[in-house]
Amino acid sequence: MKSLLKSAPPSAIFGMVVLAIVAFTGIFAPFVAPYGETQVVGDAYLPWSAAHPLGTDNLGRDMLSRMIFGARNTVGLALLTTAISFSVGSTLGMLAALKGGWLDEVLSRLVDVLMAVPPLILALMLLAIVGPSIPNMVGVIAVIYVAPVYRLSRAAAMNVVGLDFVEAAKLRGERTPWLLRREILPNIWSTLIAEFGVRFCFVFLFIAALSFLGIGIQPPTADWGSMVKENATLISFGDITPLIPAAAIALLTVAINLIVDWMLHRASGLKS
Amino acid sequence: MSRLQKLVIGRVSLGILTLFVVSALMFVGIELLPGDLAQQILGQSATESTLAAFRAELGLDQPAHLRYLDWLGGVLRGDFGTSLASGREVSELLGPRLANTMFLATYAAVIAAPLAVILGLLAALWRNTLFDRGVNLTALSAISMPEFFVGYVLILFLSIKAGVFPTLARIDSATGLWDALYRSFLPALTLILVVVAHMMRMTRAAIINVLASPYIEMARLKGVPRWRIIVQHALPNALAPIINVVALNLAYLVVGVVVVEVVFSYPGLGQLLVDAVSSRDFPVVQAVGLFFAAVYITLNVLADIISIMSNPRLRHGR
């Protein structure tokens, strides 16, 4: 582990440091934040001061505290959503590769259609039907991102299902769950992990964008996307405060991309 | 029928099929929704008579497949129904906004596509120099940034601090062309920054790929200057993948318009769609969503067809 970290380029170390900071503040949000998530502590739009390092927002809540709780909410929901789409997508993908036949055909055509529609438009149409709320948003985005995960894990599993040890396991009389979990999954694991990083970035940006548009995470829950929207008026006075949550989103995405780049580089066997 | 024709017809019909699925999506979705839609929208306190009136307005008293066929027939005649929120004809609501959105997307595309190709060419020409690294790093960070971040940063620096461009891109039918170009420059620039990065990286990759071929080495040994190798020898053979990437990014650009329009209060379809989703104005969501999906699918199918046409192995299959 130590030598692994030593071999990491500065860009990947930077990415890991950012990720660690965000994870720490997210997990320990109630202890790190000076005020409560929705606690009104003063007038609206107070300037930066010792008591409120980033000032207050449009309703007089402490910006810094909301940034810290926002790390927990935005990143946490993005993780949850990505995890759901990965568990569903990879299970279906491996199942389709293993079983083939009509199941594969039906699922693949369905995924083709799902991937032919722009994700944002699809999400907006679906959210119009079910109504905007946090569980609905998580469900809708998870469904949309099942498609690319399905495609990837099906393609990766296709290379494995024909191999002898899978054949042997089948002849041994192992059941489908065993075949998926013990024979196929360990062999496509590394592909899925790298993809998880990439998809997490997409999902994270997606949730931020939806919240920014006002149809994602709903107030008063603190979240980086809607914080930009709520305080956008400050920009016309030359105040950069509303840009801080947006910059945090960009920073975290860059950080994860740097880590994923390094992991892909290592996985491809290129040593530079 | 040749192989090429079969492939093209296959792509086009898959695109059309997808559009039908998207158009039916909302009807199926409303049908699958637990409980009654009217009740859900109007809330528990709605009286029985308002519910009945609302159901009649939505046509919920008819079975879903009849409603769908009725709606589809209307669409073919250019009638998208009436908006639930404003009571106006959806087509009337769409018209001017459609023009605005197409204006903004074209504006950005006309600048972004040539710019990306030129930057990609230069990065390939000066490979591994400081210029190449700089462009690459900028591109990578631009991809990671949400559109609204880029938009607000531009507003802060170019409009608030420098005062060169207006904060809000308000245009209407009375705005002249030059004025419209000026006022919508910031939203267009945001879109350009977001799509140029990806197009540029792919252009660079496509050209570097071709540069590895033996005939390029031949040209180099003959003493042809580097820029001529790239422009005359490499570019024609890399053109197909580049056009493909440009088409895919234009598709992305059309969708990216939604967020950018909200940032700049630009009166286009994207803003209409977002408002309609919040107020659950189904006929409007249906029509605008279908429009965006249609443009996206068309550009994707076009990209597919171009890459099929440009590949001799697919064009003259065995």
Q: Residue B34: pLDDT above 70? A: no
B112 vs A36, more confident: B112
Band the pLDDT of A272: cuts 50, 70, 90. Answer: very low
Q: Residue B95: pLDDT above 90? A: no
When pLDDT is averaged across residues B89-93 and rounded to a whole number, the result is 82
When pLDDT is averaged across residues A141-158 and rounded to a whole number, the result is 93
Model pLDDT, residue B316: 67
Model pLDDT, residue B228: 87
Search chain B and give the residue with CA nearest A127. Answer: B277
Q: For residue A129, give the nearest of B22, B33, B259 by CB distance.
A: B33
Q: Residue A271: pLDDT above 60? A: no
Averaged pLDDT of chain A: 87
When pLDDT is averaged across residues A49-55 and rounded to a whole number, the result is 83
C-alpha distance from B1 to closest chain A C-alpha (Å): 25
Q: Residue B281: pLDDT above 90? A: no
Separation CA B204–CA B192 (nearest Å): 18
Q: List, for residues B14-30, the tens digit of each pLDDT value.
A: 888 888 888 888 778 77
| Chain A with chain B: Cβ pairs closer than 8 A | 134
Contact residues, B window 216-275, toward A, CB-based 8 Å cutoff: 251-252, 254-255, 258-259, 262, 273-274
The amino acid that residue A12 corresponds to is A
Model pLDDT, residue A150: 94
Band the pLDDT of A139: cuts 50, 70, 90. Answer: very high
Interface contact B299, partner A, CB < 8 A: no
Q: Do B296 and B11 form a contact (C-beta atoms < 8 A)? A: no
Q: Do B228 and B68 form a contact (C-beta atoms < 8 A)? A: no
pTM to 2 decimals?
A: 0.86
Centre a 10 Å sphere on the Cβ of residue B257 and count the other Cβ atoms it contains. Answer: 28
Q: List, for residues A186-195, the tens digit of each pLDDT value.
A: 988 888 888 8
Report chain B residues whose CB lies below 8 A from the CB of A228: 148-149, 152
Model pLDDT, residue A69: 92
Is A48 exposed, middle or buried, given 0-12, 13-18 or 19+ CB atoms closer than 10 A? middle
**Of B60-64, B277-281, B286-290, highest mean pLDDT:** B286-290
Q: Residue A81: pLDDT above 90? A: yes
Interface contact A272, partner B, CB < 8 A: no
Q: Residue B60: pLDDT above 80? A: no
When pLDDT is averaged across residues A58-72 and rounded to a whole number, the result is 89
Is B26 exposed, middle or buried, given 0-12, 13-18 or 19+ CB atoms closer than 10 A? buried
Model pLDDT, residue B240: 80
Q: Residue A168: pLDDT above 70? A: yes
C-alpha distance from A120 to closest chain B C-alpha (Å): 7
- Structure tokens of B133? 């690294």
Q: What is the DSSP string of chain A?
A: -HHHHHHS-HHHHHHHHHHHHHHHHHHTHHHH-SS-SS-B-SSTTPPP-SSSTT-B-TTSBBHHHHHHHHIIIIIHHHHHHHHHHHHHHHHHHHHHHHH-HHHHHHHHHHHHHHHHS-HHHHHHHHHHHH-S-HHHHHHHHHHHHHHHHHHHHHHHHHHHHTSHHHHHHHHTT--HHHIIIIIIHHHHHHHHHHHHHHHHHHHHHHHHHHHHTTSSSPTTS--HHHHHHHTGGGGGGT--TTHHHHHHHHHHHHHHHHHHHHHHHHHTT---
Report chain A residues whose CB lies below 8 A from the CB of B140: 254, 257
C-alpha distance from B40 to closest chain A C-alpha (Å): 9
Instruction: Say whether the peptide bond before residue A220 is cis (omega within 30 degrees of 0).
Output: yes
Phi, psi (rounded to 5 degrees) for A51: -75, -35
Separation CA A252–CA B146 (nearest Å): 11
Separation CA A139–CA A141 (nearest Å): 6
Contact residues, B window 112-151, toward A, CB-based 8 Å cutoff: 140-141, 143-149
User: Which runs of consecutive H residues, i.e. helices, occur in B212-268?
Assistant: 214-222, 226-228, 235-263
Band the pLDDT of B1: cuts 50, 70, 90. Answer: low
Report chain A residues whose CB lies below 8 A from the CB of B269: none
Centre a 10 Å sphere on the Cβ of residue B72 and count the other Cβ atoms it contains. Answer: 13
Q: List, for residues A92-104, the tens digit of each pLDDT value.
A: 999 999 988 899 9
Q: Do B17 and A114 form a contact (C-beta atoms < 8 A)? A: no
Report chain B residues whose CB lies below 8 A from the CB of A209: 146-148, 259
The residues near A19 (Cβ < 8 Å, ≥ 6 apart) are: A252, A255, A256, A259
C-alpha distance from B29 to closest chain A C-alpha (Å): 6
Lowest pLDDT segment from A171-180, B79-88, B179-188: B79-88
The residues near A186 (Cβ < 8 Å, ≥ 6 apart) are: none
Angle at Cα B66 formed by Cα B61 and Cα B68, nearest 5°? 105
Determine whether the interchain pair B259/A254 forms a contact, defined as Cβ–Cβ distance below 8 Å.
no
Q: Do A258 and A10 form a contact (C-beta atoms < 8 A)? A: no
Search chain B and give the residue with CA nearest A204. Answer: B146
- Structure tokens of B20? 């039908």
In percent, the amount of chain B with pLDDT more than 70 equals 92
Phi, psi (rounded to 5 degrees) for B225: -65, 155
B308 vs B12, more confident: B12
Classify the phi-psi angles of A225: left when phi > 0, otherwise alpha if psi is within -120 to 50, otherwise beta: alpha
Determine whether the interchain pair A235/B148 forms a contact, defined as Cβ–Cβ distance below 8 Å.
no
- Structure tokens of A60? 């007089």
Q: What are the C-alpha distances in Å from B317 to residues B14, B306, B311?
A: 21, 16, 10
When pLDDT is averaged across residues A56-69 and rounded to a whole number, the result is 88
Q: List, for residues A251-268, the tens digit of each pLDDT value.
A: 998 898 888 888 877 766
Separation CA B126–CA B133 (nearest Å): 10
Q: For residue B146, give the nearest of A209, A232, A238 by CB distance.
A: A209
Interface contact B291, partner A, CB < 8 A: no
When pLDDT is averaged across residues A146-167 and rounded to a whole number, the result is 91
Lowest pLDDT segment from A41-50, B52-61, B183-192: B52-61
